Structures are given as structure tokens and as C-alpha cells.
């Protein structure tokens, strides 16, 4: 029984070391494969029921696994859509069939890194056929309410549908000084005009005009102005909104807004300092300033001087490039300089990373051993951020693998020697009968 158990233990040693040799071979073959997670083997001893009179060898078992938790070094590349997870987590991808399916029907896989480029349909994919998934963003760059426990809200990242884009103006910020002398008795009665260019829904440049008219009193100073707003895209002679603004002349707050009264289609929010109006293309907010606060419109003893006028929106632009920032937002960059968020790429995490099932192309799938999926915003919770212009190197250490290779060879040879010895002992036992 002891000799037989010795043979069984030696055979189990051969099998276990053969398994380890397989993982070493795979690791060395993929030492230069981006995103490859090295394989390893966990040896476990086997124990048979023992008798006092004799010892029975149990042998060894080997369990191979992927060390998915290991994080490889990041290297810089020249491709904006080369991405890697700088830390824990994986990005969601799918196969070609998954691009035509929706929600939970597609095959959801996870990838530590990938060199993505647009195919003939505009979908971002790797050369091995893994298509990047993300949450689509609206025109304001928000993804809204999404499912984080499944891939149901994810969509293939496509950049061909936004080759051309125009962003209408939704907010205008003005920083302007009105001459205080104009509101004194005997001051000028003419209006001061401030034309501001904006973009409509078709990307066309239009003009909105603010006409500032001082209230000139018979004596003293009124510190008060009447403002009319005209939209040249509509009827340029009809005001789309009016407001009256009064300024302080106190020692501490001289020149700052005291009160604003909006009429004629305009509304004013003292908390935000915004005048809301409706132009020909839609609603627009104009920042004029908050009461007793710096910024916006002031009234000081200086000339009429628009020091700063800024606006959002952009004219029609051609898609020039795309970038993915550390938070996972994929932004389209147009030749006009306008940036628009198209997708948010989440980072997937599971309780047991090593429980994931390895797939071709350095991808992984969810399993019962890995636990349930959760999709995090990049750089939040336990997951790392997304690094653009980067790829993750293989986690294989060639020197360590070669050392393991020598150790495995010696262990295999030792097990083989045991088999040879047992065979000789059994032959000797057979010869006793002669």
C-alpha cells in the first residue's frame, strides 16, 4: 500500500508540475502582451487516512489561476484612445455581436487596458475585436441616471455620429463699467450700446444688443440705469427683455449693484446674478452680477468700458480628435476649439478579482466566484483613474519566471525519479517469486 501510494504521489507531482510548467510557458509567451495578467499555480497537499503501522503518501493537487489583482506598469503612447486603468478595476468591452445587441443581452467583458481606434462604423475597438462600452452623455455632458450593477445602460462608444456639431449659446457673462457721471444732473442722455455675438441652434453667429440708458435727474445723482435687450435674429427693433439697475454709492460698496428690477420678458435671480431672457433660438442667461458683490456690471467714475464678455456655445465644427480624461469622460474636440463630452467610461470592479474568467484578448468575464459587478466613476471608491495616451504592460517578470522554470524542472525530475525508483522496487518484489 505504501509503495502504491508513493507511485500515486509521484504521479500527482508530475501532473502538478506539468500544470505549473504550462502557466510558466503562457506567462513567458505573453511577457510583451499589453494588459496580460500572469497565471500562477496554487499547490495543495493531499492527505490519506493514516495507520500507525504504515504511512500512505497523499500527493499534491494544483489549481491554476489568473492574478488579476496585479497591476502592470503604464507606458506612454501617442494615441489618445490608448487607455489603461491606473489602479484597481477594468473597463467594460464587448464583442462584435454585442454592438448589435442592447443592454443585458450583449456579452459583457472587462479589459485592463486597450489600444482603441475607430472602425468603419465609428465604433472604438481593439485589434483583437474588443469594443469599448460607455454611458452616452447628453448635450450638456451629463449621463443622467444609469445602472451601475449591470451593463444595461452601456452602449458601444461611437464617434462617427458627431462629425459635425454646433452648440447654441446658453449663457453670457458680462463684466462692464457704466460711467457714474452719466447719472448726475446735466449728464448725457444718450444710450450706451453693447453688441454681443452668440450662436444659434444651427451654429450661425447672431447678435444680441444691450442698450444702457442713464436716468438723469434734475439734481444730484440717480445711480440708476434702464437696460433694454434686443435680438437681431428676430425683430431688432423690439426688446426681448428690460431691466432697471440701481447702484450703491456707499463707502464700502460704492459702484456695486443695489437692486435690479426685470420686466418685459426678462427675469432676475439675485442669488445667481442672472438675467433670463428668451432669444429667437431659445432661452439664454446673462450674468450681470449680484447685489453688493464684485463682478458683473459696476458703476464707477470711469468711461464706458466692457472689460470682459464671455459666452458658451460654438459655431459649426468638424470633429478633429477625441480624448479620454482621468475621470473617464470621452471628449470630442472640434476644429473650432469646442469640446463636447460624448461618453463616460466607467470602471468595473468585483469583490474577487481573481475569480474572473479569462477570455481571449486579455479580457475577463464575470463568474460566480468573482461576485457581482459594480460600475464606478473613474477615480472614485476603490477603483483607479483612467490614464489616456497609456497602455498597461504585462505583469510578467521574465527573470522570476525563468527561476520558476528551473525549480519546476527540478521538481518534475524528482517526481520522475520517484516513479523510476518505485518501478525498480516493484520489479525487485516481482523477482522474489522466482
pLDDT digits (tens, 9 = 90+) for 195-207: 999 988 888 889 9
pLDDT-derived band of residue 2, with 50, 70 and 90 as boundaries? confident
All CATH 2.60.98.20 domain ranges in the chain, comma separated: 169-312
Place of cell 444595461: 152
pLDDT digits (tens, 9 = 90+) for 211-267: 999 999 989 899 999 999 999 988 888 999 999 999 999 988 899 999 999 999 999
CATH superfamily of 169-312: Flagellar hook protein FlgE (2.60.98.20)
pLDDT digits (tens, 9 = 90+) for 135-193: 999 877 899 899 999 999 999 999 875 566 677 899 999 999 999 999 999 888 789 99
Query: What's the pTM value of the predicted model, to 2 decimals?
Result: 0.71
Angle at 237 between CA 235 and CA 243, to 5 degrees: 105
Please tell me the predicted confidence (pLDDT) of residue 153. Answer: 93
Residues 6+ apart with CB under 8 A from 85: 91, 112, 113, 347, 378, 383, 384, 385, 386, 387, 392
Length of the chain: 434
Q: How many CB atoms lie within 10 A of CB 222?
A: 18
Measured between its terminal Cα atoms, the distance across the chain in Å is 22
Angle at 127 between CA 126 and CA 133, to 5 degrees: 20
pLDDT digits (tens, 9 = 90+) for 359-379: 999 999 999 999 999 999 999
Please tell me the predicted confidence (pLDDT) of residue 52. Answer: 66
pLDDT-derived band of residue 313, with 50, 70 and 90 as boundaries? confident
Average pLDDT, the chain: 90
Amino acid at each position: 500500500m505504501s509503495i502504491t501510494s508513493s507511485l500515486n504521489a509521484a504521479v500527482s507531482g508530475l501532473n502538478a508540475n506539468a500544470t505549473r510548467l504550462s502557466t510558466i510557458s503562457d506567462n513567458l509567451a505573453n511577457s510583451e502582451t499589453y494588459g496580460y495578467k500572469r497565471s500562477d499555480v496554487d499547490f495543495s497537499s493531499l492527505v490519506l487516512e493514516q495507520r500507525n503501522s504504515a504511512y500512505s503518501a497523499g500527493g499534491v493537487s494544483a489549481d491554476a489561476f489568473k492574478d488579476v489583482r496585479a497591476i502592470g506598469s503604464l507606458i506612454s503612447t501617442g494615441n489618445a484612445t490608448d487607455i489603461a486603468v491606473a489602479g484597481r478595476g477594468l473597463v467594460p468591452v464587448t464583442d462584435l455581436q454585442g454592438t448589435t445587441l442592447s443592454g443585458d443581452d450583449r456579452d459583457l467583458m472587462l479589459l485592463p487596458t486597450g489600444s482603441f481606434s475607430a472602425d468603419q462604423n465609428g465604433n472604438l475597438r481593439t485589434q483583437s475585436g474588443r469594443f469599448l462600452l460607455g454611458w452616452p452623455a447628453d448635450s450638456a455632458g451629463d449621463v443622467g441616471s444609469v445602472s451601475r450593477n449591470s451593463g444595461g445602460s452601456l452602449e458601444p462608444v461611437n464617434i462617427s455620429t458627431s462629425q459635425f456639431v454646433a452648440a447654441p449659446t446658453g449663457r453670457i457673462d458680462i463684466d462692464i463699467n457704466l460711467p457714474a457721471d452719466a447719472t448726475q444732473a446735466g449728464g448725457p442722455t444718450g444710450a450706451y450700446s453693447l453688441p454681443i455675438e452668440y450662436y444659434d441652434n444651427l451654429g450661425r453667429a447672431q447678435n444680441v444688443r444691450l442698450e444702457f440708458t442713464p436716468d438723469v435727474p434734475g439734481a444730484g445723482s440717480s445711480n440708476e440705469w434702464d437696460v433694454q435687450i434686443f435680438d437681431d435674429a428676430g425683430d431688432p427693433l423690439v426688446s426681448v427683455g428690460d431691466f432697471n439697475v440701481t447702484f450703491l454709492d456707499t463707502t464700502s460698496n460704492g459702484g456695486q449693484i443695489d437692486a435690479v428690477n426685470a420686466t418685459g420678458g426678462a427675469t432676475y435671480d439675485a442669488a445667481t446674478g442672472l438675467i433670463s431672457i428668451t432669444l429667437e433660438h431659445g432661452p439664454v442667461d446673462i450674468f450681470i452680477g449680484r447685489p453688493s458683490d464684485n463682478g458683473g456690471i459696476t458703476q464707477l467714475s470711469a468711461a464706458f468700458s466692457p472689460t470682459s464678455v464671455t459666452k458658451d456655445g460654438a459655431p459649426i465644427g468638424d470633429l478633429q480628435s477625441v480624448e479620454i480624461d482621468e475621470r473617464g469622460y470621452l471628449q470630442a474636440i472640434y476644429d473650432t476649439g469646442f469640446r463636447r463630452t460624448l461618453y463616460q467610461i466607467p470602471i468595473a470592479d468585483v469583490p474577487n478579482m481573481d475569480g474572473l474568467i479569462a477570455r481571449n484578448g486579455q479580457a475577463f468575464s464575470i463568474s460566480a466566484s468573482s461576485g457581482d459587478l459594480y460600475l464606478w466613476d473613474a477615480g472614485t471608491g476603490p477603483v483607479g483613474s483612467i490614464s489616456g495616451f497609456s497602455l498597461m504592460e504585462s505583469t510578467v517578470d521574465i527573470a522570476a519566471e525563468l527561476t520558476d522554470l528551473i525549480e519546476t524542472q527540478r521538481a518534475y525530475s524528482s517526481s520522475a525519479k520517484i516513479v523510476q525508483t518505485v518501478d525498480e522496487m516493484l520489479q525487485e518484489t516481482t523477482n522474489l517469486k522466482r
